[in-house]
Structure 1
């Protein structure tokens, strides 16, 4: 069955990240496609593959994670880079003729939504740099 990416609510990933029986890279993988905006923090266990490298890295990701049941993609807001990267991943898998039951998902609201919702909870953001988040996105 070929994969088509669908959106996942943050609570679904929250449950996986906090489940000590589940291992990133084995039971699920989180692909964070932010580039310079990756600095400042990430979801624990996330693999950083900047969106502008996805065409070049899709084969490597598939080779490494094809047997992982769930793959979650996200960027800052999961409006452009995350969904596009998930689509590239799925299309590459389909073009390679890989048949899998893997679920490819896009984290709704991206890392910004994750940060807003879970920044105060222990163990839900790693490599956190509060200074990156001190001021509003747009200040004029």
Structure 2
């Protein structure tokens, strides 16, 4: 038996391309970015992301599912996307499925739940100088991580 997560992964380069396409067309609302880093959020982040620390995520997930019920794609990530980001994506997806079963969300409203492969550590290193993708990047913060 093999394990298949209920979410997809996307590489930094593929996400950068999709994020730029979305932001070049204001009428196109495709991606919502949820950054679940805790104290390590300081030092830079994807421009336009929403920070919900992993320690607070379980208490906020039902509200988040309701707020994002019409979003086409939701991207989760943490620093490396090895634990906190994938866990948040799984919890979000399960909570969304429960809301669909309870009739709170239209089951016809499809949503892509995705995790950023290698997290912000990789994304930030690649795109730290590109203001349309990364903001508040602080090189000093990353020297000790």
TM bracket, shorter-chain basis = 0.7 to 0.9
Equivalence map 1:104-115=2 (5 Å): 104-115=113-124
- Which residue of 118, 124, 128 maps to 2:127? 118
Hey, what does 1:72 align to over in structure 2?
A: 75
- Which residue of 5, 11, 14 maps to 2:13? 11
Unaligned runs of 5+ in 2: none
Could you report, residue by residue, the CA deviation over 1:74-104 in whole angstroms, capped at 9, with x for unpaired residues?
Answer: 0000000000000000010111224231000
| RMSD, matched Cα | 1.9
CA contact (8 A) 2:128 2:137 kept: no
When normalised by structure 2's length, the TM-score is: 0.83
SS at the partner of 1:96?
helix
Q: Which runs of 4+ in 1 moved over 4 A?
A: none
- Which residue of 42, 54, 57 maps to 2:60? 57
**In 1, Cα distance between the equivalents of 2:27 and 2:9?**
21
**In 2, Cα distance between the equivalents of 1:33 and 1:78?**
10
Unaligned runs of 5+ in 1: none
Number of residue pairs the alignment of both structures matches = 133
CA contact (8 A) 1:76 1:112 kept: yes
**In 1, Cα distance between the equivalents of 2:53 and 2:99?**
22
**In 1, Cα distance between the equivalents of 2:93 and 2:132?**
30
**In 2, Cα distance between the equivalents of 1:6 and 1:36?**
26
**In 2, Cα distance between the equivalents of 1:51 and 1:94?**
20
SS at the partner of 2:76?
strand
Equivalence map 1:20-99=2 (5 Å): 20-22=24-26, 26-97=29-100, 98=105, 99=107
The alpha carbon displacement at 1:132 in A equals: 0.8
